[in-house]
Amino acid sequence: MSNIVLKGSSSGDVTITVPAAAGTNTVTIPAATGNLPLSNLDHVTNRPNVEPLVINGEMQISQKGDQTGITGNHFVVDRFGIQQDTFGTWSTSRSSDTPTGKGFANSLKLDCTTADTSLGAGHFGLIHYRFEGQHLQLLKKGTSSAEKLTIAFYVKSAKTGTYVLELYDVDNSRHISQTYTIDSANTWEQKVLVFAGDTTGALGNDNGNSLAISWWLGAGSNYNSASLQTSWGANDTDARATGVVNLADSTDNDWYLTGVQIEVGEYTASTLPPFQHQMIEDTQRRCSRYFQKLASNNNQSVGEGFSSDGTGRGATMIPFLPMRASPTVTTSAASTFKFQQGVTTSGNGTGFIVSAVNNNQGANQGNAYGVGLFRVHLDVSVSGMAQDGRFCRGVSNGDSFVQVEAEL
């Protein structure tokens, strides 16, 4: 319980007690008749989470940048990815087109560049957002106290009609879907959908992929031939996206998304708590748990290490923030890196080996600062440099990047 004190006039103060149960829409005024609708107090919320459950729901961070010619799986902006099988060709980007007056600066944008007017049975396209199970224990899934879940978002498309939003429990192969309608072409609309709590199948309390939200954009008959599964149940593939439009049927089609929020409990558009805007640096920090791109321009330092002992190889230690799991490291070409020792710089790299990834996540893993490290061995021409294990810097030779990835 929490109390709100309203300062009265001649009759004194009135204390309002806010019920502890998530989703309760009334508060009781002691010693008075009737209830005061919570919709009249839209600044009063009962969120059990301090930070928003959805990371980057206002599409602030896009480390992988805009892309064209997309025909497979790809992250559009951080944490939001497109998943597809033979579903046309797409350009993906972070857009500045947003709903007016809602406080959003960016949106996710899909633009169809090659159409697919007749989807095969197994063909589909969707946008997904995936959760670690340990982040959703507050849903109490798999218990008799399982919480309802409200998902709200702003959407816009040139293609009107019926779309499908699905929750998929990866741990227990269970799912539930609902439809929503884009009523007006090229117009921002907010959608608010409530999903029942699931009393079957607990989510794993770990860092694995446990629950996914899927915005279905088109589906062949393998996903679209039975009655839509609108209650929680075991996986029924042909009931996952029944009735969904085919967004890929014209190159005139586009689709925008922003303002994605999840609230524990049941809300309507009028009772929905305000969107939790975050400072961009806070969103960047949370996104870094899954993906980091360390990019450098010419002659900028990318790490520190030591020169070789005559073998034509040096090693550089590159730090990164702690991540969900031990990451996969990819880099630009070896020729975009070189070593520097004092004022002497080596020639271009000719070979590149990443090894010894150490994903420290805090003091319990021997690093009080929670900084991970990986070692890069770079084959270089070391003419003019001491080849005796001395300190040196790894520097960029033109545009270079190192990507560290631990996506779900």
- Which amino acid is located at 41 in the chain? L
Contacts 24+ apart (CB under 8 A), 96-103: 97/156, 97/256, 98/154, 98/188, 98/258, 99/154, 99/156, 99/188, 99/190, 99/258, 99/259, 100/188, 102/154, 102/259, 102/275, 103/275, 103/277
The pLDDT tens digits for 312-371 are 566 677 778 888 988 888 888 777 777 776 665 665 665 656 655 566 543 333 333 345
Cα–Cα distance measured from residue 177 to residue 189, given in angstroms and rounded to the nearest whole number: 20
pTM, two decimal places: 0.84
Cα–Cα distance measured from residue 138 to residue 134, given in angstroms and rounded to the nearest whole number: 9
Low-confidence stretches of the chain (pLDDT beneath 50):
1, 5, 7-11, 24, 27-29, 32-45, 361-370
Q: Please report the domains of the chain, with CATH numbers, ordered by start residue.
A: 2-40 (no CATH), 67-287 (2.60.120.260), 291-405 (no CATH)
Tokens of 143: 């218990």
